[in-house]
Structure formats: structure tokens, C-alpha cells
Structure 1
Amino acid sequence: MYRIDSRILGMVGTNCYLLCNEDIKECVLIDPADRADEIRKMIDESGCELKGILLTHGHFDHIMAADDVREKYDVNVYASCDEKNTLEQPHINLGESYGMNLSVKADVWHNDGDVLKLAGFDIEALHTPGHTEGGTCYYIKDIGVLFSGDTLFCGSVGRTDFPGGSMSAIVRSIKDKIMVLPDDTKVYPGHGEGTSVGYERVNNPFLV
């Protein structure tokens, strides 16, 4: 059995998710957006032991609490090998625009297609550039769940006017990596409400 807890955090309403494996009482955190205190509360109240932090991409609004949570629970931060510049450079991760000298270093840099074995889940890292150079969606086939970050939203796609962005790349990423998944795959995006692959296949105007 699995459970997904979430919080909407930070100045732009970023979704922070906690994927819990109820059978073994372990969990994984996706995009520690802000408010480390609120995230710690979510983790502690879950009754599960945190096993890792997954970053879908390096923009400031998805990573502000990463270092605090990593230090508190002594776990690794995972990110795409193509996202190093975005994560580490404040002028690229947009933190500088908000007066923040924000830089995060991952402990594990994954490649496209790598399977991360965390909290009893096989989590496939699907590299989906377009919003950023190293944007990543995390797919758990066994439970039919995809954490899409800012690549795919309900009825929309991520912005491509930031450093490293490309509309052609993001549409290609979604079509090649996400639209090949089963229609009933639940999609948990970085902002806004959830959706499914099947719904986006029919209704997303960017994919027609």
C-alpha cells in the first residue's frame, strides 16, 4: 500500500509531495519547495522513515528546503546529471531574481532511465528537458504514478522562457516520455491540480 501526502508551499504555490510505502514505513520526498518546518512535520506525522529527496528540476521554488531536510534526516538528494548548472547557479535557478543566493548540490546525479530503488519503490528517472535543461519526471510503474514537476500540468506544459527552456524540447519530451505511459497513470505536477496521462492525451492543447 502507498500513500501520497502533499503540501502547497512557497511564494508561487509549489507542490511538495511525500510518497509513503505503508508496508515498510519508508518514504521519499519530491521537491522540498519551502518551509522546512512544515515539511518536517509532514514527514514526522507520516510515521515513515525518509529515504531520499528527489528534485524534478533546479528552480528555486522547488529546492529551497532541500539542504535543511537533507541535514535533518541524513539522506541523499537526487537530481538529473543535466541539471547541475541550474541547481548550483542562482542566476539560472531564478533565486537571484528574488534576492536569494541559492545553490544546491545533489548527492546522486542520475541519468535518463536510471531506476532509483528507494523506500521499496522502483522509481524511474525520465529526463524531460524543455522547462530546464535537466528537468526530470519520476515514474513508479508498479503503482501507476508520475511526478511531473514543471514539465506537464493539467491542460498545460511548463514555461519555456527561462534559461535552458525550449518549447520544442518540452513538447518532444512529453510526447516521447510521458504520452507512451498507460492512460490511467496518475500525474502529480509541480503546480496546480493532478491529472492523468489519458486526460492530457485528449485534452492538452499543447500536444495536439
Structure 2
Amino acid sequence: MKITTYTGGFVQTNGYLVETPDGNLLIDAPEGITDWVARRGVRIDDVLLTHQHYDHVTDAAELRATGARLHALDDYSKDLTLESLGLPVAVPPYRIDRKFAMGKPLKIAGLEISLAHIPGHATDSVTFHLADHGIVFSGDTLFAGSIGRTDLPGGSTTQLLDGIAKHLMILPPETRVLPGHGPGTTIGVEAETNPYLD
């Protein structure tokens, strides 16, 4: 398995290209990632959305038009993408092909991915844990030295912190955290140094 990071769009959002012998997938769809993977000559089979705030789904419709399947917790909604806030972005509408079945691992591209629903930043936030590879894609729930903002519609600091404690801080300390913004970190580093997790 090979993971390559793309960062782009209005608020510098991370998207992750995961290549395996059994298929290629993206974690999130920030602006510009479709052209980026095309320049690399990679075909995308599936796109897993950590949540549907605008900066994580700007290229979702374009990726689906290339034949990629979109996976998310909920169906597309303008409210989920936060276009309703009047932000200076436009998200082309798209259709979710497969909704996550919470409570059982997602098996895709030869990988087994454990899903955790952690609302608080967004109502539909999901993290993806690849235990066999020691990696968790945290979306906008947990960052290096910080947590996702909770002042947006549907936000809750209590929900977010409870979910992080229940689903993420129980992972092995060496687990790599690949977040929706900023640099990567590990569960152990965040347990020791993240000021929000005291």
C-alpha cells in the first residue's frame, strides 16, 4: 500500500491517495485533486468522504464523473457542504453511491477499514482506521495539536471530545494520524501534548 498526500483548495485541505494492488482510492475530494490524480496517471475506483463540508467535497462530482464511486455516511445535502453559510465556494451537486454501514468494517481495495462516527465538528464525520497498517484518517476530528472547530452548524465540543476519547485515543500510541488539514501526527504524541485532550 502506498499513500500520497495532496493539499489544495481555499483552506488547504488534505486529500489522500491510497494505492493498493487491488484498487486505488481517495480519502476526501478537495479542490484540484481530480487533475492531480489525472496527471499522475492513476485511476480512482472509490472516494471515501470523512465528512461533507465544502472543502472536502469540492471535486466529488468531478471524480464521480470519471467513474469513481462516492462513499459517505449521509446523502449529499447543501446544508452538509456549508454552502448555506454564503462561503465563497460553489460545490457542484453529486450523488453518494454507497453509504457507510456503521458497526462493521469496510472492505475495499484489499483493505479492511474500521469506521467510527465522531460528530462534533460535522454531524456526518467518520474516521477510517487501517489497523493492519497502523494508520487512521481523522478528517477534521483530530489534528496535530488541535481538534476540529465546533462553532459550525451541528457542532458540539462535548460530542467531539467524547468521540475522540472513545474511538481514537484507545488506538495504539504509534498509530499514525493523517488529518484533513495540516501535518500528520500520532495518537501517542496527541495523548501527551494536545492541549484539548487533557
Structure 2, unaligned stretches of length 5 or more?
none
Matches within 5 A, 1:175-190: 175-190=165-180
Residue 115 of structure 1 corresponds to 105
Q: Deviations over 1:18-74 (max 9, x none)?
A: 1112xx2522111110112123224x25xxx533100000001000111111221x2
Partners of 1:41 and 1:164 in 2: CA distance: 37
Q: Tell me whether 1:55 sits opposite 2:53 in the alignment.
A: no
Distance change >3 Å, CA 67–CA 15, structure 1 → 2? same
Residue 4 (structure 2) pairs with residue 10 (structure 1): no
Aligned position for 1:38:
36
Question: CA offset at residue 188 of structure 1?
Answer: 0.3
Displacement of 1:111 in angstroms is 3.3
**Cα 1:198–1:103 shift into 2, 3 Å:** same
* 1:51 and 1:118 in contact (8 A); partners too: no
Q: How far is 1:142 from its partner?
A: 0.6
Q: Which residue in the other structure is 2:70 paired with? A: 77
> What TM-score do the two structures reach when normalised by structure 1?
0.88
Matches within 5 A, 1:73-152: 74-81=67-74, 84=75, 87-89=76-78, 91-95=79-83, 96-100=86-90, 102-152=92-142
Structure 1 unaligned residues grouped into runs of 5+: none
CA gap 1:190/1:101 in 2 versus in 1, 3 angstroms: closer
Q: Once structures 1 and 2 are overlaid, which stretch shifts more, 105-114 or 52-61? A: 105-114
Contact 2:6–2:14 (Cα < 8 Å) also in 1: yes
Q: Could you tell me which amino acid in structure 1 is paired with residue 36 of structure 2?
A: E
> Equivalent of 1:27, from 12, 24, 28?
24
Which residue of structure 1 lines up, in the alignment, with residue 192 of structure 2?
202
CA contact (8 A) 1:150 1:157 kept: yes
Give CA deviations for 1:97-128 in whole Å, capped at 9, x if unaligned.
22525433311111333311111101112111
Confirm or deny: 8 A CA contact 2:176 2:184 kept in the other structure. yes
Identity of aligned residues (%): 35
Give 2:58's aligned residue: 64
Aligned-partner Cα distance in 2 for 1:144–1:94: 32
Normalising by the residue count of structure 2, what TM-score does the alignment of the two structures yield? 0.92
Contact 2:57 2:91 in 1 (8 A): no
Matched AA of 1:115: P
Distance 1:196 1:101, change over 3 A: closer
Paired with 1:60 and 1:67, the residues of 2 have a C-alpha distance of 12
| Displacement after TM superposition at 1:144 (Å) | 0.7
Count of paired positions? 195
**Is 2:73–2:126's contact at 8 Å kept on the other side of the alignment?**
yes
